[in-house]
Amino acid sequence: MSIHVVGIIGLVLVFLVGTLRSINLGAVSLVMTFFVSTFVAGELPREIYSGFPVDLFVLLAGVTYLFAIAAHNGTVDRIVEGAAALVKDRRALIPWAVFVVASLPAMAGALGSAGVAILAPLSLRLAERYDIDRTMIGLMVVHGAGAGNFSPLNVLGAIVHQAVARNGLEMSASTLFLGNLAYNVLLGVVICLVFGGRRLTGQEAHASREARLHLAGQAGNPRAVGVPQTCTLIALVAVAVAALVFGLSIGFAAFGAAVLLQVLFPASSAGAEKKIAWSVVLLVCGIVTYVAALQRYGTVAAVGDGIAELGSPLVIALLICVVGAVTSAFASSAGILGAVIPLAVPFMVRGDIATTGLVVALAISATVVDSTPFSTVGALVVANAADEERSRIYRGLLLWGAVMVVTAPLVTWLVFIVPAS
């Protein structure tokens, strides 16, 4: 039995065990990584460790650590109260406002995770205040960030264009950007319809009673903003600027800000490190470690090579989009795009498949699946959810992500590839 077959069977077993037993999928994935890597691939421990996503660990732990302090000392409440006062009774605007704000950093060139890391915790609290489905607001943050993924300034856009240009091909940058933008906007409409957006269109009389009473109470008795809250606000802005403007690691910046706040204000931030979403960190890092092992073994490449041997260019194009969607649901979208686009190059060079159509379909298929809780941005939403709602939001993102894996390759194939072939 080849290592590729063993690796795929191992992945299936991981999800079976995690489904049938109440065990963290990340823990099961780490055990499977050790078993397959050691006894089948013959890897040494240092090779196994190389697949552990240190950057993702630092990002998830650092951001949830910082926002745990902000929630503990009341800063998040102050921010949400300010946003709620601006929105007043127009609850229907909140999901779309979140969508638009999430798209701006990505359009300006930041990775989607940077904007989501800052916006997700605040959006979830605002949704709680206004009795808006938290899964809906989380998905609007994710797909809002995704809408800006392929702007001319965005890193993912640069990766795609370079991969195409290296092979002497040309494509339409505007079609890639606008096609992805339109697809995510349409997904935003579907999200609002599926997760109760229509009930948000009422006036103040239909708003949650708790939200109105809370705002009324705050109007009469406004909370004072003390030194800890002011410094926390400054720290949040500094972390956002460090990540979005200077391109620094948002995870390390968040850790630095959190530690500084605990040193300066120990009373208002005590025990914040216990609020780090360790179960989510284990879940995501464990699964990504196993997928990284599959990539080291060449399993993903082997699947792509097998697809390339099929006869029909249109069928090959569809299957390449499927591979991009499935693998990107558990791994880096940037890495997957860089690895999968070359699989389609021979067919684009021969003119069997239109270059722009295939690249747009593949780019969308590989990024809309970032809504799964195993991707960076999906994990950020789950990690910043309230403890009592985390499992429900996890299941909601998992189901939605599975729908994206199934539908995105087929829909983009029909819209962007078939008409141009």
State the DSSP code for 413.
I
d(CA 372, CA 142): 10
Residues 6+ apart with CB under 8 A from 302: 4
Q: How many whole angstroms separate alpha carbon 76 and alpha carbon 69?
A: 9
What are the DSSP calls for 4-42, one per residue?
A: HHHHHHHHHHHHHHHHHSS--HHHHHHHHHHHHHHHTS-
Enumerate residues 6+ apart whose C-beta is below 8 A from 69.
Answer: 75, 232, 258, 261, 262, 268, 269, 272
Q: What is the pLDDT of residue 220?
A: 43
pLDDT string in tens for the chain (421-residue length): 789 999 989 988 988 887 788 888 889 999 999 999 999 999 999 999 999 989 889 988 998 899 889 888 888 888 877 776 776 667 888 899 899 988 988 887 777 788 898 889 999 998 988 889 999 999 999 999 999 988 887 778 877 888 788 778 889 989 999 999 999 999 999 999 999 877 776 544 344 445 544 544 444 444 667 899 999 999 999 998 888 788 888 889 999 999 999 999 998 888 888 888 888 889 888 888 998 898 899 887 787 677 767 768 888 889 989 988 998 888 778 777 877 787 777 778 777 788 999 999 999 999 999 999 988 899 999 999 998 999 999 999 999 999 999 999 999 999 999 998 7
Q: Report helix, strand or coil for 208.
A: coil
Mean pLDDT of the chain, nearest integer: 85
CB neighbour list of residue 115: distance below 8 Å, 6 or more residues apart: 102, 104, 105, 106, 145, 244
pLDDT of residue 215: 46
Coil, helix or strand for 298? Answer: coil
Helices 376-383/112-129 angle, 10° precision: 30
pLDDT at site 138: 96
DSSP letters, 219-277, are HHSPPP--HHHHHHHHHHHHHHHHHHTT---HHHHHHHHHHHHHHH-HHHHTTGGGGS-
Other Cβ atoms less than 10 A from the Cβ of 314: the count is: 14
Q: What is the dihedral of CA 243, 85, 393, 284, to 10 degrees?
A: 10
Cα 256 to Cα 66: distance, rounded to the nearest angstrom: 9
Best CA proximity match to 144, nearest among 304, 355, 367, 417: 367
Instruction: Tell me which residue of 171, 163, 165 sits closest to 366, measured CA to CA.
Output: 163
Tokens 């078993």 label which residue?
Answer: 35
Distance (Å, rounded) from C-alpha 335 to C-alpha 56? 14
Question: 111: closest CA among 372, 376, 373?
Answer: 376
Are residues 324 and 337 in contact, defined by beta-carbon separation less than 8 angstroms?
yes
137, two tokens: 């607001």
Q: Pick the closest to residue 170 from 359, 337, 321, 313 (CA basis).
A: 359
Question: Cα–Cα distances in Å, from 353 out to 159, 183, 321, 358?
Answer: 20, 21, 13, 7
Write the pLDDT tens digit of every residue in 224-273: 678 999 999 999 999 988 887 888 888 899 999 999 999 999 988 888 88
Handedness of CA 236, 87, 180, 365 (dihedral sign): positive
**What dihedral angle (degrees, nearest 10) is formed by the CA atoms of 13, 16, 20, 23?**
60
Euclidean distance between the first and the last CA atom of the chain, given in angstroms as a whole number:
38
